[in-house]
Amino acid sequence: MTISAAPVLRRRMMDLTLEEHTLTVPLVWSDPADARTIDVFASVVIRPGGEDLPYLVFLQGGPGHEAPRALHTPAGPSWLDQALAHYRVVMIDQRGTGRSTPVSDDILALGSEAVAEHLTHLRADSIVRDCEAMREHLGAERWNVLGQSFGGFTTLAYLSTNAASVDTAYLTGGLSTVTRTPDEVYALCYDKMRDASERYYRRFPEHRDRMRRLVDLADAGEIVLPDGEVVSPSRLRSVGSALGTDDGWQTVWKLLELEPGSNAFRYDLAAAMPFDGRNPLYFVFHESSYANGHVTDWSAERVEPADFAADVTLFTGEHIRRDWTETVPAFRPWRDVSLALAQHAWPTIYDAEAIAGSGARGAAAVYVNDPYVPLEFSMETAALLPDLRLWVTSEHEHNGLRSGPVLERLIALAQDRRVR
């Protein structure tokens, strides 16, 4: 199938130049006979005088989120200025998101079986093929990759199949396991959330009783969000996902200080829960990101530890639940698709042997307390990449790229410069 490109649009954003590129690519890269296509969009951000710098492609976390837009902070990504000192930055909207052909509720008109089949072609291996098409379109023999969280998972898929295209790899909170099962991942993530919960309650012990009372209200159906969602106890507990970010404890603290019957509580609770209808892929598709030749079958729900079932004050993180397809208005239309994907036999996507043989160089930030991408499994994967310099730190949480000079430090490590 021929890949086609729309005309390049160039515009100015303050002192930056933005080149906007849209490619039409196969939906199914592995089957030349399949005529379905989608669009993939990328914005190349260039600082004054940076027209000849090498390219750095940014792979966003998620799955199911588009790349950030090149706006000046605080609206834009805080790391962008650090990157632009060294690179032209390619902000690619991963397939199914943003200005690439998006997955939204209107796709459900195709029927749940067809939609589920469509979504199986949106994984990291296909994103890598899209990146390769964009790299070739830009005329780059090689380029550099920055992968945040799921974007780091995609970087590992890149190293599994197309390592020769990657000059330097930077990973932040994205050294996923490439050998473990989803059950092993989510079980360890529960351990991390248990630790995060206890750290929080040691600081604010009075909030444990408040959380218990809120769960009682949710169990009685007495917490109703502005969109009509009757919040279940499991949805309420998912606000603990915020504890995986540098300042997320403040989100939880402010919420638990509010009167449960107030508008402020209802709106703030809706904003604090990690999954919503804006990006349905994030909910519907989440567990597939850890499936490397596995059927997920609602992994996070199945491996819930006994103490989490007994102690309702323990927060959860990215642990999705099957019952949300019935209790969350935004997810109800996606119920049949979600059930089908939970039973899908996902093909392998990572090749540990190829990763080990990739010769990849660069640097990675590994967060000690990360409740989404556990330290222990990150270190297992890091052992496959001896030329990847590691910064193992408790100074930042999972969102460190957005909240501190993480990229600056990784660039210095990759260039073997001393970091103060």
Span 209-238, pLDDT tens digits: 999 999 999 999 999 999 999 999 999 999
Q: Tell me: do 194 and 334 sit in the same domain.
A: yes
Q: Tell me: do 250 and 332 sit in the same domain.
A: yes
Q: Tell me: do 356 and 319 sit in the same domain.
A: no
Number of domains comprising the chain:
2
- Domain containing residue 107: CATH number: 3.40.50.1820
Q: Is residue 420 assigned to a domain?
A: no
Q: Tell me: do 200 and 304 sit in the same domain.
A: yes
pLDDT band at 417 (very low <50, low <70, confident <90, very high): low
Q: What is the pLDDT of residue 72?
A: 52
How many CB atoms neighbour CB 19 within 10 A? 16
Q: What is the pLDDT of residue 4?
A: 79
Of 288, 318, 342, the residue at which a domain comes to its end is 342
Q: Three-state SS string across the chain, please?
A: CCCEECCCEEEEECCEEEEEEEEEEECCCCCCCCCCEEEEEEEEEECCCCCCCCEEEEECCCCCCCCCCCCCCCCCCCCHHHHHCCCEEEEECCCECCCCCECCHHHHHHCHHHHHHHHCCCCHHHHHHHHHHHHHHHCCCCEEEEEECHHHHHHHHHHHHCHHHEEEEEEECCCCCCCCCHHHHHHHHHHHHHHHHHHHHHHCCHHHHHHHHHHHHHHCCCCECCCCCECCHHHHHHHHHHHHCCCHHHHHHHHHCCCCCCHHHHHHHHHHCCCCCCCHHHHHCHHHHHCCCCCCCCHHHHCCCHHHHHCCCCCCCCCCCCCHHHHCCCCHHHHHHHHHHHCCCCCCCCCHHHHHCCCCEEEEEEECCCCCCCHHHHHHHHCCCCCEEEEEECCCCCCHHHHCCHHHHHHHHHCCCCCC
Q: Tell me: do 335 and 240 sit in the same domain.
A: yes
Q: Is residue 322 assigned to a domain?
A: yes
- Domain carrying residue 75: 4-178+350-414
Q: Which residue has the tokens 């669009």?
A: 39
Of 320, 342, 364, the residue at which a domain comes to its end is 342
Q: Which of 25-34, 72-81, 100-109, 309-318 has the lowest mean pLDDT?
A: 72-81
pLDDT, averaged across the chain: 95
- Give the tokens for residue 381: 């994967």
Instruction: Tell me the mean pLDDT in the region 250-277.
Output: 97
Is the pLDDT score of 75 beyond 70? no
Instruction: Tell me the mean pLDDT in the region 313-328.
Output: 97
pLDDT band at 253 (very low <50, low <70, confident <90, very high): very high
pLDDT band at 3 (very low <50, low <70, confident <90, very high): confident
6 neighbors 25 (Cβ within 8 angstroms): no
Q: Is residue 196 assigned to a domain?
A: yes
2 vs 290, higher pLDDT: 290
Q: Tell me: do 338 and 357 sit in the same domain.
A: no
20 vs 15, higher pLDDT: 20
Q: Is residue 234 assigned to a domain?
A: yes
Instruction: Tally the C-alpha atoms within 13 A of residue 229's C-alpha that lie toward its C-beta.
Output: 28
Q: Is residue 419 assigned to a domain?
A: no
Is the pLDDT score of 420 beyond 90? no
Q: Tell me: do 316 and 375 sit in the same domain.
A: no
Q: Is residue 48 assigned to a domain?
A: yes
Q: Tell me: do 145 and 202 sit in the same domain.
A: no
Q: Tell me: do 254 and 145 sit in the same domain.
A: no
Q: Tell me: do 370 and 244 sit in the same domain.
A: no
Q: Please tell me whether the overall predicted TM-score, pTM, comes out greater than 0.85 for this model.
A: yes
Q: Tell me: do 149 and 207 sit in the same domain.
A: no
Of 342, 358, 393, the residue at which a domain comes to its end is 342
pLDDT band at 162 (very low <50, low <70, confident <90, very high): very high
Q: Tell me: do 320 and 366 sit in the same domain.
A: no
Q: What is the pLDDT of residue 7?
A: 73
Q: What is the pLDDT of residue 77?
A: 87
Q: What is the pLDDT of residue 404?
A: 80
420 vs 341, higher pLDDT: 341
Angle, to 10 degrees, between the axis of helix 248-256 and the axis of helix 263-272? 150
